[in-house]
Amino acid sequence: MCKSELKYLQTLRNSPATEVCGNHFKSSNLGHFAGCVHAAYNAPGVVQILSPFSMEGRTENLVVDVVANQGHTWVKVIARKAQALHLIWAGRGQFGERDLVRQAKDYLRCSSYHPVNFQKPHVHFAFYNQVTHPMASCLEGLGISVSGERVEVDEATANQISLACISSDEDSQGSSSSSESDDDSLEEDCESVHCEVFQPKKQPSVKHSGGPSSDKEPPSTSLQSKKDFIFRDMDLVKSLVSSMPSFDCLSEDLCKDDCSSSSSVIDKVNLDITSLITLVSSVTNGGCHFDFSEKVLAMQASEERREPVLPKLKKFLQGKKMYVCQTALDDFRSILDTLGGPGEKKRAEDLLSRVTIVEDDPSDRTKDMPYSLKIRDRSKVIFGTGDKLQAVTVTANSSFVRAAQHQGVSFAVHLHPSRALTEEKEKNAIPLSRDN
Q: What DSSP line would sit under 196-220, residue for residue?
A: HHT-----------SS--TTPPPS-
CA–CA gap between residue 278 and residue 410 (Å, rounded)? 23
Q: Which of 243, 16, 228, 44 lies closest to 151 in space, CA to CA?
A: 243
pLDDT value, residue 167: 55
Q: What is the DSSP letter of 193?
A: T
CA–CA gap between residue 17 and residue 272 (Å, rounded)? 65
Whether residue 294 is contained in a domain is answered as yes
Do 211 and 94 sit in the same domain of this protein? Answer: yes
Do 301 and 198 sit in the same domain of this protein? Answer: no
Q: Which of 86, 50, 93, 48 lies closest to 67 in space, CA to CA?
A: 48
Those residues whose C-beta lies under 8 Å from the C-beta of residue 246, and which sit 6 or more positions away, are 42, 147
Q: Which helix (H) or strand (E) holds 123?
A: strand 122-127
CB under 8 Å, gap of 24 or more: what pairs does 152-156 form?
152/201, 152/203, 153/83, 153/86, 153/196, 153/197, 153/199, 153/200, 153/201, 154/83, 154/201, 154/203, 155/200, 155/201, 155/202, 155/203, 156/83
The model's pLDDT over 331-384, given as tens digits with 9 standing for 90+, comes to 999 999 999 999 999 999 999 999 999 999 999 989 988 888 889 999 999 999
The CA–CA distances, whole Å, from 120 to 116, 157, 204, 217, 436 equal: 6, 36, 41, 51, 46
Range list of H helices, 90-191: 100-111, 133-141, 155-171, 186-189
CA–CA gap between residue 192 and residue 431 (Å, rounded)? 75
pLDDT value, residue 374: 85
Which of 209, 243, 260 is the C-terminal boundary of a domain? 260
Which of 229, 260, 291 is the C-terminal boundary of a domain? 260
Which of 208, 236, 260 is the C-terminal boundary of a domain? 260
CA–CA gap between residue 255 and residue 120 (Å, rounded)? 17
Instruction: Please tell me the pTM assigned to this model.
Output: 0.64
CB atoms within 10 A of CB 337: 9
Per residue of the chain (436 residues), what is the pLDDT tens digit?
A: 888 888 887 887 777 776 766 666 666 788 888 889 889 988 999 989 998 888 878 888 899 999 999 889 999 999 888 888 888 887 765 655 678 888 999 999 999 888 888 889 999 999 998 999 999 999 999 999 999 999 998 888 788 777 656 555 555 454 444 444 444 443 444 444 444 444 444 444 433 333 333 444 444 445 455 545 444 444 556 666 777 888 887 875 555 544 434 345 789 999 999 999 999 999 999 999 999 999 999 999 999 999 999 999 999 999 999 999 999 999 999 999 999 999 999 999 999 999 999 999 999 989 988 888 889 999 999 999 999 999 999 999 999 999 988 887 889 999 999 999 999 999 999 998 876 5
The model's pLDDT over 170-186, given as tens digits with 9 standing for 90+, comes to 554 544 444 444 444 43
pLDDT value, residue 86: 87
3-state secondary structure of 40: helix
Do 314 and 168 sit in the same domain of this protein? Answer: no
Domain assignment of residue 296, given as a range: 266-431
Range list of H helices, 43-74: none
Do 163 and 276 sit in the same domain of this protein? Answer: no
Whether residue 303 is contained in a domain is answered as yes
Do 180 and 53 sit in the same domain of this protein? Answer: yes
Whether residue 407 is contained in a domain is answered as yes
The CA–CA distances, whole Å, from 289 to 151, 205, 311, 429, 430 equal: 66, 73, 17, 10, 9
Identify the CATH number of the domain in which residue 422 sits: 3.40.50.1010
Do 220 and 303 sit in the same domain of this protein? Answer: no
Do 238 and 321 sit in the same domain of this protein? Answer: no
What residues form DSSP beta bridges with 430?
291
Identify the CATH number of the domain in which residue 172 sits: 3.40.1350.10
3-state secondary structure of 43: coil
Do 194 and 304 sit in the same domain of this protein? Answer: no
Do 46 and 181 sit in the same domain of this protein? Answer: yes
For the chain, what is the radius of gyration of the CA atoms? 29
Whether residue 227 is contained in a domain is answered as yes
Helix, strand and coil content of the chain, in percent to the nearest 5, comes to 50, 15, 40
Q: At what angle do helices 326-339 and 377-389 cross, to 10 degrees?
A: 130
Q: Which of 294, 277, 341 lies closest to 302 in space, CA to CA?
A: 294
Do 133 and 217 sit in the same domain of this protein? Answer: yes
**Whole-angstrom distance between the N-terminal and C-terminal Cα of the chain?**
47
Q: CA angle, 322 as apex, 68 and 376 as ends, to 5°?
A: 70
User: Which one-letter amino acid corresponds to residue 329?
Assistant: L
Whether residue 436 is contained in a domain is answered as no
Do 247 and 280 sit in the same domain of this protein? Answer: no
Residue 421: phi, psi to the nearest 5?
A: -75, 125
pLDDT value, residue 397: 96
Domain total of the chain: 2
Q: CA angle, 184 as apex, 181 and 190 as ends, to 5°?
A: 105
Q: How far is CA 402 from the centre of its chain?
A: 15
pLDDT value, residue 174: 46
pLDDT value, residue 198: 43
Do 325 and 274 sit in the same domain of this protein? Answer: yes
pLDDT value, residue 12: 78
